[in-house]
Amino acid sequence: MQFKSLKIRILLWFGSLAFVVLSLFAFSFNYFLNQSIDNNIKSKLQLLAHKRDKKIPNVEVLTLHNGTIEDSTALFSLKNYKKYLNQKENFFIITHTGDDDYIDALYIDEQGVKTTLILRKNIDNRIENFQDVLLFLIPILLLAFIFLASKMIDKILLPINKLINATKDISITKFTQEIELPKDEDEIKELVLSFNAMIKRLQNGVERLDRFNTDVSHELKTPLTVIQGEIEIALRKLRTPQKYEQSLKTIQKQSKQIELIVKQLLLLTKYSKENIKESFEKCSVDTLLMQVIDKFQLQFQEKNLKLHIEKIEPINMQANPILIESIFVNLIDNAIKYTSKNRNIYISLYQDSKIYFSIKDEGIGISKEHLSKITERFYRADSSRNKKIEGFGLGLSIVKNSVLMHDGNLEIESDKENGTTVKVVF
């Protein structure tokens, strides 16, 4: 039979162990008590054998010489004494038939050809009654222990039962349930703390998933609408090959936008504080930066922007290379997009007590009312969200998230029409 209840299993284990311990105690106590009584009686009979005093009540003495009775008390009542002679033992307990309250004790003292038998009659043996009481107490004590153990287990399992009830109330839409912390600093409190931390992680995970779904549906709506419109126009009537080519180019452009949006959103939701450390490896930060700069050479040339590399030091750190690269990509991309032609962009990477990366542009800048919000997802400083400057408002959100994943700080300083300086500190 299998018992599903943890409490019942513990009680069965405890009850079995308690029964074994109590039984061993009763057996040991009975054994050592009898040994003590027997040794005490034996010692007294030994003393009597040396004194050879025949006038002690309930004591009978028989003296043999070469097996023949030499002397005895008036009545030596043990008729079958010969069966105790020539045995290894010299002390015997003789029970009374039909009467357990009294026993006799026989001690044999051999000295050469002379043998003395000392018989102590009617020794009180009512200690057996105590032994019977002890045996009767074992089941009572066992039940008492089990009852106390049950109460203790109920107290111990109370937080676990609360934990069970809390898990039953948890659903995808309900993550607010937390267990009240026990007062005692023990394993149960650690379990409750771990459970509450797990609830928060699940809540954050579900919130990220909900936010991802909301963001995707929000940002994909526009390109999907454009694609659907182009297809409907193309199918409405026959058109020239040039018109079909134009529609396909529009669809291709919107498809690439969808791909980029999904890629950026996945980058935002892929990593968390709990799993980011697993992806860390030794990164050459300066090498990553130079590789990203090389990728933007064409954009620099198209706008005739002059890049000033003020300082780039060789720096290695334990980090996620994908996120570090995304920081450089988004910040350089923003600097290029929001800086007018024939202007300057300044970049530096160096290490002091910490690692510093900064990028300064001479672009359009950000007004103070927008500065605190620009790292929010899909937020763009132009309220109309026009498409003159391409983007989805995800770049700085990705940067901020990536910096925080590395326990860094993101600092942004900007004035309208006076450019922007972004500093990342690790």
**Cα(336)–Cα(333) distance, rounded to whole angstroms?**
5
Give the pLDDT band (50/70/90) at residue 386. Answer: very low
Give tens-digit pLDDT for 45-73: 766 666 655 566 677 777 787 777 777 66
What is the per-residue pLDDT for 250?
84
Give the pLDDT band (50/70/90) at residue 149. Answer: confident
Mean pLDDT of the chain, nearest integer: 79
- Joined together, the tokens standing for residue 337 give 């997009």
Q: Which of 22-26, 202-206, 327-331 has the highest mean pLDDT?
A: 327-331
391 and 278, same domain (yes or no)? yes
75 and 99, same domain (yes or no)? yes
Give the pLDDT band (50/70/90) at residue 1. Answer: very low
307 belongs to a structural domain: yes
Q: Check whether 15 has a pLDDT greater than 80.
A: yes
- Joined together, the tokens standing for residue 354 give 């910490």
385 belongs to a structural domain: yes
Whether 156 contacts 188, CB under 8 Å? yes
263 and 392, same domain (yes or no)? no
Q: Check whether 227 has a pLDDT greater than 70.
A: yes
Of the three residues 78, 110, 134, the one that is the final residue of a domain is 134
Give tens-digit pLDDT for 231-264: 888 888 888 888 888 888 888 877 877 777 777 6
78 and 189, same domain (yes or no)? no
141 belongs to a structural domain: no
Residue 372 carries which DSSP code?
T
Amino acid at 287: T
Q: Which of 73-77, 184-188, 407-411 has the highest mean pLDDT?
A: 407-411
56 and 94, same domain (yes or no)? yes
317 and 204, same domain (yes or no)? no
Of the three residues 246, 270, 294, the one that is the final residue of a domain is 270
Mean pLDDT of 110-119: 80
Full 3-state SS string of 348-387: EEEECCCEEEEEEECCCCCCHHHHCCCCCCCCCCCCCCCC
Task: Please state which of the ranges 14-18, 129-133, 152-156, 299-303 shows the lowest mean pLDDT.
Answer: 129-133
289 and 368, same domain (yes or no)? yes
Q: What are phi and psi of 108, to 5 degrees?
A: -115, 125
265 belongs to a structural domain: yes
221 belongs to a structural domain: yes
292 and 215, same domain (yes or no)? no
How many Cα atoms occupy the beta-carbon half-sphere of 31 within 13 Å? 6
170 belongs to a structural domain: no
How many Cα atoms occupy the beta-carbon half-sphere of 66 within 13 Å? 0
Mean pLDDT of 291-297: 90
- Joined together, the tokens standing for residue 4 give 């599903």
265 and 282, same domain (yes or no)? no
Q: Is the pTM of this model over 0.75?
A: no
- Domain assignment of residue 204, given as a range: 175-270
Give the pLDDT band (50/70/90) at residue 103. Answer: confident
CA separation (Å) from 341 to 63, 159, 330, 338, 414?
A: 136, 66, 19, 10, 19
**Cα(119)–Cα(308) distance, rounded to whole angstroms?**
120
Q: Check whether 214 has a pLDDT greater than 60.
A: yes
**Cα(285)–Cα(313) distance, rounded to whole angstroms?**
9
409 Rama class: left (phi>0) / alpha (psi -120 to 50) / beta: beta
**Cα(58)–Cα(79) distance, rounded to whole angstroms?**
16
284 and 248, same domain (yes or no)? no
**Cα(61)–Cα(55) distance, rounded to whole angstroms?**
10
**Cα(337)–Cα(289) distance, rounded to whole angstroms?**
18
Mean pLDDT of 358-370: 86
Q: Which of 246, 248, 257 has its CA nearest to residue 223?
A: 257
- Angle in degrees, CA 355, 356, 362, rounded to 5: 165
Domain containing residue 218: CATH number: 1.10.287
147 belongs to a structural domain: no
What is the per-residue pLDDT for 127?
64
Mean pLDDT of 91-110: 78
- Joined together, the tokens standing for residue 332 give 């350089």
More confident of the two residues 2 and 22:
22
Q: How many domains does the chain have?
A: 3
What is the per-residue pLDDT for 230?
81
What is the per-residue pLDDT for 383?
44
How many Cα atoms occupy the beta-carbon half-sphere of 154 within 13 Å? 6
140 belongs to a structural domain: no
283 and 413, same domain (yes or no)? yes
**Beta bridge partners of residue 421, listed in sequence order:** 360, 413
Give the pLDDT band (50/70/90) at residue 203. Answer: confident
Domain containing residue 394: CATH number: 3.30.565.10
293 and 413, same domain (yes or no)? yes
Give the pLDDT band (50/70/90) at residue 384. Answer: very low
pLDDT exceeding 70 applies to what percent of the chain?
81
Of the three residues 108, 134, 160, the one that is the final residue of a domain is 134
